[in-house]
């Protein structure tokens, strides 16, 4: 009788240990996917807020700089990346991808040698040349919507140069003309609302379905990096140049005031995605 009781206790202990081991494995699999999230960052000054992630590797994610947003989008669609920082319009057109956050506004800036041009109203009555590469882009439509809403009347033409001149932040990096203001700043000043979205965090939905908390860690890190970028100009400029997001520190510093270091989710994200662009939002 005593021997039977002892055997039963041993069996119960073994069963309990096996159950605990199984439960531990299930919990571990739910917490970690096992592979670091593969995240692409465009070779662009507008991604300067993410520079810190390139300088501080983590077990939960691996960040790499891609040549262009189009190359990253193709890698994301193919499954070679789990997530990427992409322009909103580009990200919204990829099937099976979810926009998780807006990390920058439309990267359009106004350049001019004329010191009296410092805000949107100063463009009234002038001929504003838009970089010919902007034609029919979200930035083009957003600028036209802003000028119309603010009732600023000016003539818009497309060309390779002009004064004043509207172009992307990356195009401005290659020019010596002073940057007077950004579209995002003019939007806030004139309309008092969130500017149109630019750079977004786009993630494959199949990856999210089985990523566990690995991707939560990346999202927290990206949000912290954006806050750090907004607060630490000198260090952010140095990291952006070191990562190749800007040609050199002087250029990175010149562009810094016109970069948007934000991290928008939820209702704010949706407002930015819809502002002036008509971008469809996937639920």
Model confidence over 45-78: pLDDT tens digits? 999 999 999 988 788 899 999 889 999 999 999 9
What pLDDT does 282 receive?
40
What pLDDT does 10 receive?
57
Taken as a whole, the chain contains a residue count of: 283
CATH of the domain at 137: 3.40.190
Q: Name the one residue in this structure whose structure tokens are 């004329």.
A: 114
Helix pair 233-242, 214-231: axis angle to 10 deg: 120
What pLDDT does 281 receive?
39
Residue among 278, 4, 20 at smallest CA distance from 144: 278
CB 250 within 8 A of CB 238: no
Residue 206, domain member (yes or no): yes
What pLDDT does 90 receive?
94
The distance of Cα 87 from the centroid of its chain, to the nearest Å, equals: 7
Could you tell me the residue range of the domain that residue 147 belongs to?
108-191
CB 66 within 8 A of CB 84: yes
What pLDDT does 213 receive?
74
Final residue before a domain boundary, out of 166, 191, 216:
191
Q: Name the one residue in this structure whose structure tokens are 């806030």.
A: 188
> Residue 66 forms beta bridges with which residues?
42
**pLDDT score of 187 more than 90:** yes
Q: Are residues 95 and 150 in the same domain?
A: no
Final residue before a domain boundary, out of 124, 157, 191:
191
Report if pTM > 0.85.
no
What pLDDT does 22 receive?
34
Q: How deeply is 105 buried, as exposed, middle or buried, from its count of CB atoms within 10 A (0-12, 13-18, 19+)?
A: buried
Mean pLDDT confidence for 206-218: 87
Using DSSP, state whether 174 is helix, strand or coil: coil
Please tell me the distance from the alpha carbon of residue 14 to that of residue 59, in angstroms, as a whole number.
Answer: 34
Alpha helices in 97-201 (DSSP H): 138-149, 169-172, 183-191
Cα dist from 86 to 119, 168, 212, 231, whole Å: 28, 15, 23, 23
Please tell me the distance from the alpha carbon of residue 27 to that of residue 142, in angstroms, as a whole number.
Answer: 47
Q: How many domains does the chain have?
A: 2
What pLDDT does 277 receive?
53
Residue 2, domain member (yes or no): no
Q: Are residues 179 and 229 in the same domain?
A: no
Residue 215, domain member (yes or no): yes
Residue 226, domain member (yes or no): yes
What pLDDT does 26 receive?
32
């Amino acid at each position: 009788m005593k021997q039977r009781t002892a055997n039963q206790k041993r069996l119960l202990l073994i069963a309990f240990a096996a159950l605990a081991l199984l439960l531990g494995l299930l919990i571990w699999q739910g917490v970690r996917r096992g592979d670091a999230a593969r995240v692409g960052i465009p070779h662009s000054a507008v991604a300067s807020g993410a520079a810190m992630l390139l300088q501080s590797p983590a077990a939960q994610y691996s960040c790499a700089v891609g040549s262009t947003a189009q190359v990253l989008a193709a890698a994301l669609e193919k499954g070679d990346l789990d997530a990427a920082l992409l322009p909103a319009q580009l990200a919204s057109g990829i099937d099976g991808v979810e926009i998780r956050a807006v990390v920058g506004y439309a990267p359009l800036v106004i350049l001019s040698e004329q010191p009296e041009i410092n805000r949107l109203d100063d463009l009234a009555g002038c001929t504003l040349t838009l970089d010919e590469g902007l034609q029919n882009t979200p930035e083009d439509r957003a600028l036209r919507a802003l000028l119309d809403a603010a009732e600023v009347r000016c003539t818009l033409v497309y060309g390779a140069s002009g004064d004043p001149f509207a172009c992307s932040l990356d195009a401005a990096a290659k020019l010596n003309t002073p940057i007077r203001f950004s579209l995002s700043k003019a939007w806030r000043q004139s309309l008092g609302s969130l500017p149109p979205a630019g750079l977004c965090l786009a993630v494959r939905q199949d990856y999210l379905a089985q990523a566990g908390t690995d991707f939560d860690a990346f999202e927290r890190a990206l949000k912290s990096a954006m806050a750090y970028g907004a607060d630490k100009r000198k260090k952010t400029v140095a990291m952006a140049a070191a990562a190749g997001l800007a040609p050199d520190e002087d250029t990175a510093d010149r562009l810094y005031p016109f970069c948007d270091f934000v991290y928008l989710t939820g209702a704010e994200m949706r407002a930015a995605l819809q502002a002036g662009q008509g971008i469809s939002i996937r639920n």
